[in-house]
Each structure stands twice: as C-alpha cells, then as structure tokens.
Chain A
C-alpha cells in the first residue's frame, strides 16, 4: 500500500444521470435542453434520443428537438438541490467528496467492509440516492482503483452493466484491473477528469500523434512521457495506467493553512455569506501560493448560532483557483441555506471556515521576472476575478479570433479563467487565417446578433427575394419589412461544412442600406431571411 507507484485508493463514484435537468425540476423523459450563452450544456434522455447533444448551438438543438423545453443552466441551483442527496449519503460514509453537482466520490476502504463488499456497497448507495432523489432518475455507480477509473466505470456504456436494475446500475472494476478497463477509453477522458487547459492541450497533441486511447498511452515508458510532455503529460500517463494521478508524496494535508472568519452578528443570507467567502478564498489562495501549493480538496465548514456544524468537501484534480474556491463555497452555502427546510440550519452562521484538506505543489503562473505584469493589469485581473466570483466564471470572457465566414463565427469568446489574460495572448488559433471563400470583406458589422430575427425582404413588385443554388439573386431588394432599401450589395453565398451532414449550412448574405441611412447584413437560410448583424 505504501509503494506509491502501484497504489490508487479504492474509490466509489456515484452519478445521477442528467442531474442539471432533474435539478431544474424536469423529468428525464420530458424533452429538455439546458442552455447557457446560446450553447446547450445538458440535455434530458428524451431530448438526447431525438438528436440533441451537449455543445450544440441552441437553435440547432431546437431544430433537432422542436418540442423541447428550454431551461437556463444554473450551477448554483444544481449544487443547492444536490445538497440533500449528499446529506443522505452521510449515513453510508462521512468521507464524501463532491466533484461537481450530481457526482460524488468517496474512498471505499471502510464502508465496503461494513456493507459486505464493493458490489453490496454500490447497491446500498443506489438505494440511498434513489430514495433521496427529488424525482425518479437513474443512479450510476462505479467502484474501482482510483477516482478516475471509478468515474469512467460509472458511465453508461457497452458492455451493459452487470448489475443494472430499474433505479440504477453498479459496475465494479476488480482490484488491479484498472489499466485493462481503461485501455479502450480515449485520452480526452483523462484530460476531462483533470479539467485543466494544459491537460486538454497535451491530450490534443497526443491524439494528433496517433495516441488516441489510454491503452496506447499507458504502453509508453513513464520517463519518456515526462521528458516529452512535461508534468501534464506525466499526469495523464499515470491516469492511463490506473494509478493515482499524484503520488502519495505529493499530497499532504495542511491543517495550519485553513482560514476562517467569525461572523458577528450572525449572517443568514447567502449573498452576504458568499461575499465573505470570496475574501476568505482570496486569503486562502494567497497563503497557498506563498508556499507554492494548490488546493486539490477543499473542506467548507459553517457553524451556526445554535452550535450546528456542517461540513462538506469538494475536490478538483486540476487544483482550485481562488475563483474556483469562492464558487464552490457559494454553491455549498446556497445548498445549506436555501435547501429543504428539514436540513436548513436553524440559526444564522457565526463561523465560516475554508480548509484545504489536500494540497499539491502548484505549477501555476509565476509572475514574470522582468515585470511582464504591470500594476494596472494586476488590478484589472483582480477585478475580473471578483466579477467572475459574483456572476460565475463563464460570465467573464475574452475574445479569440477564429476562422469562419459569418460575422458571428469569426470571433468566439473563451472564459477569462481559462486564458492567461495578463500575458500576451495569441488571438488567432492555428487555421483561423486561412482562405474562407464567401467571407464578407471589411468593414464588419458593429452589432452581431446571437439570435438573428427573421425578416421579410421583397423586390420592387413586393415579391420575396430569393437566391438560387448558383448564387444568383432573383431581383434586387427594394423593401426590408416596411423600410425602403436605398442601397444593396451581394449576394455572398456560403456553403458551410458541406462535408458534415449534421452541421452543414447553406447561406447567402446581402448588405442593405435603408432610407434612414442604417445598414444591415441579412442572411438567407432555407428560404428565410434573418437580420444577422447591423453596421451600427
């Protein structure tokens, strides 16, 4: 057990299928799309069956699943509704880690012996979670060596789970079998587990080198992987071999680093508490940074005026940033204070404590020796981190220029937390510059609508204007709705992604100038004109 190299803690991961949909108060057999910033973040089983998938644009997902209910995604709600389930699991083991709302992990060493084996423990967990669920759903449980293998074992996949029942399914990967179980999975699964941009970058490189599966990666010599791909590659390699990503020596508890704040008078409101948590998280992060550490597992603890104590652990394999710590604290506090009445604390919170339960050596950003960062940049970065803590990390984004023909395709935004905004950023990913036939010449429109509205474009005789398959326009446009067109240009036909039947789009664009002097960009798609952008 202490050999370090071969040891990964036996772990159980339990996952509620499509948790965000459930948390929003919908059943999995209703067609539901959860969206954020016009992208689909989660779908119900019914919506998935009709072709909707995570990552699609909202409009595309709606096209595939027209009767779906749209719900705004809200991680805070997901966490709040999940808290009673986590509390129910306390009867099985006190050592629960939340990795994200809807998924818990814990070490099985003790509980497994008590319940009579991994399979029996898994069934017990399914039973407990199924009883606590707000509405019926499937609970997937995986037990294996290490949290990563267990998380994959909890995913529904072929072959079917040996112990599948109506409420849930348990899959146990025997001791020492982790590497064999992992071999067919893609490398990107390991990168997703680490959830760091660096990890994803290495996984991308590995895939392009032809190392697509974890099995292929595991066959390489550890020294070679470390030498060629650095610490991030070594982490992926350890995961691929079914080992603990960080050897025991790299993990240590650090009780003296815990930060806490006494609240007098007691605080009852989540936003007020979350605000204190942001300051506390900053403090914790600077203490850890001073010692060159990053937090892998964070304990959040509150004590109320009546002496009640609540504690919950969150973990993140990539190490939590200050904003990440603050966000998890906010989710957790929301879960306690706005949860079901029976679990809610009976008095205001008097003490809030953030406890880094597990830390590792940080390999984060170091300030440039020659002062690459100015004071202003640092201030701006801090203000943005604060806004991200208030609104969620996805709300603060930085632009990146990409390829594409339409004005909306040519720029995309990435979360500021995922980009190193204080250094010189590369704004053009590879391939963005390259020839894009049908791209509109500059100047570009100053307003680009995320959800273009349909409009009527007619010629001088009042007939609808159409562009045929060869790119010829039937007649020059004379009216846009009630507005008189005084100038026009185009059409620019664009046959986008014709090689991919799911994402292919044929469009034609025209520019029109109206009598009031305003100019607009219209796009014709499947017989309907849309107001795509305005040259404001």
Chain B
C-alpha cells in the first residue's frame, strides 16, 4: 500500500492516507444532547463538546440543571463542584437522573484547579461554582482540557469570577411565576406551579448568532417546555393561572 502511494512529497502522501483512514464524525460525537425545549438555544441542536457555558440571571440554577439533564439522561455523568446547596429534588423533578450525579464539596482555593481539571478529563458534564477569582492559567488549562476531552463545563452563578467569557452565555430575564395569589387575597390557596422565562443566548464561534427563547422552566408538569407550544391541560387546574393572569391584567 505504501508503494502505490509513494509519489513525490512524502508528507502529501501521508495526508492522503490520513484522509482515507479518518473515520466520519457523527453530529452526536461533536455535541451532547439537550432537552427538546433547549434545542433552539444551542448551535446545531446540541451542546458543542469542548465548550464552556455560562448561566446567569433569575432561574439560572434551574437552567443549568436542565442543560445537564439531556446529556445525563443519555448516559453521561454530571459532577457538581462547589454547589452543595443545589436542589437535587428539583433536579430530579426536571428529569435529571440522580443515579449519575455526583456532588463534590467546595475544594480549597489552591486545589480548585487540580480538582476541576481531574473531573473535566473524564466526566462529560461538570457544573462548577468557584468561590473566588479563577486564575487565567487555570482557565486556559481547563479550556485546553475541555477541547481535548470533549466535555462541557457549566459555570454556575456565584461569588467567583472568570478571566474570560465562556463560549456560550445564557442569560435569563423576566421571570414570571404562576400559581401564587396576590397579597390582597387573605388565604394563600394556591401554590407555585410554573414559571415563564426569557432566555437569551450569545457566544463565540459556532454559538455566535444571538438567540432568544421563551421557556416554561419548570413547566406545569415539572419539565422545561417552549412557551409557543400550547401549554398542557394541567395548567388549568383549580383556578390557578387564569385567575392570576386575569388579576394581573
């Protein structure tokens, strides 16, 4: 085989050989699956492997959990570093399989980089909330590891800060909870049922095109849903939402 290809430049020959031997990469190998409701927020319908995602705004924690749900349901592992207050019951209600979720206590600052790097190397979804400023060298090392290993790093909102913005930036605005009653009503005969949110996505490279989506997070059945879809029937249960909407209007 080497003989038939042994034409002028040896480097060129090897390139040709490389092209022939290169396996096809499937879309699923370049991105991690996300829930259907979040597809409009991410490029090419999935979380690009090797990218970092930042969530902020009211409802950011729910959004981060929802982002991890698609990949974890498909068999990936999710590790949460430094966020012991994450509501795991809420995560389970949103469909996140807790059997593949691991919580890591906040590491001391001098070990933070080592711990997150060790996890990014072998775990596909890592949710982090740094307690302080992340050093530029640490951030560069993590970015390189992410690209090499194909995981996704989700930055939770918190006291820490990062030296540079992430590849995908998701911001939530205009949260609107349904199901509670106004303070003018003396009996609290309701309960929080669903929340409407506006999520805007910006970013770099493949995620550069800005996107804007209105979401139910959580929806009336606990799962995230797109707002333009007709809301499921359960919303109309015991006089909840219509009453609020009418009074608010």
Contact = CB atoms under 8 A, between A and B. Distances in A.
Query: Do chains A and B interact in one complex?
Result: yes
A444 B90 contact: yes
B94 to A, nearest CB: 8
A425 B105 CA distance: 21
A518 B87 contact: no
A387 B93 contact: no
A335 B190 CA distance: 59
Nearest to A37: B105
A397 B88 CA distance: 13
Contacts, number: 186
A376 B76 contact: yes
Interface stretch (B19-27, B121-129, B202-210): B121-129
A519 B180 contact: yes
B123 A380 contact: yes
A123 B42 CA distance: 72
A271 B45 CA distance: 43
Contacts of A37: 84, 105
Contacts of B61: 446-447, 536
A425 B77 CA distance: 14
Interface in A126-166: none
Interface string A197-238: 000000000000000000000000000000000000000000
Contacts of A449: 85
A446 B90 CA distance: 5
A478 to B, nearest CB: 5
A476 B123 contact: no
Contacts of B175: 516-519
Nearest to B91: A446
A441 B90 contact: no
B140 to A, nearest CB: 20
B62 interface: yes
A170 interface: no
B233 interface: no
Interface in A369-418: 374, 376-377, 379-380, 382-384, 386-387, 390-391, 394-399, 401, 407, 410-411, 413, 416
A460 interface: yes
Interface string B181-196: 1111110111111110
A450 B85 contact: yes
A458 B65 CA distance: 33
A511 B183 CA distance: 12
B183 A391 contact: no
Interface in A431-448: 440-448
A421 interface: yes
B87 A407 contact: yes
B128 to A, nearest CB: 13
Interface string A470-484: 000101111000000
Contacts of B186: 475-476
Counting chain B CB atoms within 10 Å of each CB, which of A386, A401, A443, A518 scores highest?
A443
Contacts of B59: 446, 536
Contact of A380 (B58, B62, B77, B107): B77
Contact of B195 (A459, A488, A490, A535): A535
A371 to B, nearest CB: 14
A319 interface: no
B95 interface: no
A401 B88 CA distance: 9
Contacts of A379: 121-123
Contacts of B192: 443, 489, 511, 513, 519, 535
Contacts of A447: 61, 85-87
Contacts of B228: none
A72 B233 CA distance: 51
A510 B189 CA distance: 11
A486 B62 contact: no
Given A391-B111, A488-B181, A517-B176, A510 B188 contact: yes
A517 B85 contact: no
Interface stretch (B32-40, B112-120, B130-138): B112-120
Interface residues of B, number: 60
Nearest to B219: A443
B215 to A, nearest CB: 14
Given A376-B124, A421-B102, A411 B183 contact: no
B101 A390 contact: no
A399 B98 contact: yes
A24 B116 CA distance: 29
A262 B247 CA distance: 76
A43 B194 CA distance: 45
B87 A444 contact: yes
A473 B186 CA distance: 9
B104 A513 contact: no
Contacts of B180: 487-489, 511-513, 519
Interface in B198-225: 218, 222
A395 B104 contact: yes
Contact of B191 (A382, A399, A478, A489): A489
B182 A536 contact: no
Nearest to B76: A376
B157 to A, nearest CB: 8
A476 B184 contact: yes
Contacts of A401: 88-89, 92, 98
Contacts of A424: 99
A441 B192 CA distance: 9
A442 B93 contact: yes
Contacts of A519: 175, 177, 180, 192, 195
Nearest to A389: B118
Given A383-B119, A387-B119, A444 B93 contact: yes
B79 interface: yes
B90 A445 contact: yes
B89 A411 contact: yes
Interface in A313-336: none
A168 interface: no
A533 interface: yes
A494 interface: no
Contacts of B75: 374, 376
A245 interface: no
Nearest to B84: A450
9 contacts: A379-B123, A390-B107, A425-B99, A441-B191, A443-B93, A443-B218, A476-B186, A517-B176, A536-B59
Given A379-B121, A442-B93, 16 more contacts: A379-B123, A382-B122, A384-B102, A387-B104, A390-B111, A391-B111, A397-B102, A401-B98, A424-B99, A427-B99, A441-B191, A444-B87, A445-B90, A447-B87, A476-B188, A512-B180
Interface of A: 37, 374, 376-377, 379-380, 382-384, 386-387, 390-391, 394-399, 401, 407, 410-411, 413, 416, 421, 424-425, 427, 440-450, 459-460, 473, 475-478, 485-491, 510-513, 516-519, 533, 535-536
In the A-B complex, the 7 residue pairs with the closest CB atoms: A487-B180, A517-B175, A379-B122, A383-B122, A395-B105, A536-B61, A444-B90
